Amino acid sequence: MVYYLIALIVFLVDQGTKYLIASRLELREEIPVIGNFFLITSHRNTGAAFGILPNQRWFFIVITIIVVVAIIWYMNRVRKSSSRKLLPVALSLVLGGAIGNFLDRALNGEVVDFLQFNFGSYTFPIFNVADSCIVIGVALIILDSLMDMNRTESNNKSNEGNEPV
């Protein structure tokens, strides 16, 4: 149950921040936070991450529904495992972020993005809280997979010495 609460918190923070941006800033309006390095910028994205596949609303809606169902199914399987605590948290972050961006696409046909980082003359693609949680969740899934492979290798090595001769 705690993992669904994490997903709900991610969803609510994402939707709350998007609402504040959409209702208080004009499109393309910028507020410097840390000079020109970090700005709050009102932006809309009709595509996926980094604006790829623009104007593919129904494609993203269908894919997101499939991903959300798969995450919920998998999360119910792995949360019962006492050895894997990181994976359900990671899946919760991805779930909350996916649902947050899904709602934007389903209702408005676009996602509200607002976190902008500039590195000299390079501007990283503008993103939002949901995107951040999805990226962090995927990174934690990879980390959990690496840790699980390490645990499996350690168990296999410790069992090699216990085989009957």
Q: What are the residue numbers of the active site?
A: 113, 131
Distance of alpha carbon 137 from alpha carbon 143, whole angstroms: 10
Residue 114 CB coordination number (10 Å): 23
At 97, list the tokens.
């972020």
User: HSE-up of 132 (CA within 13 Å, CB side)?
Assistant: 14
The percent of the chain in helix, strand and coil, each rounded to the nearest 5, is 60, 15, 20
At 135, list the tokens.
């990226």
Cβ atoms 151, 58 nearer than 8 A: no
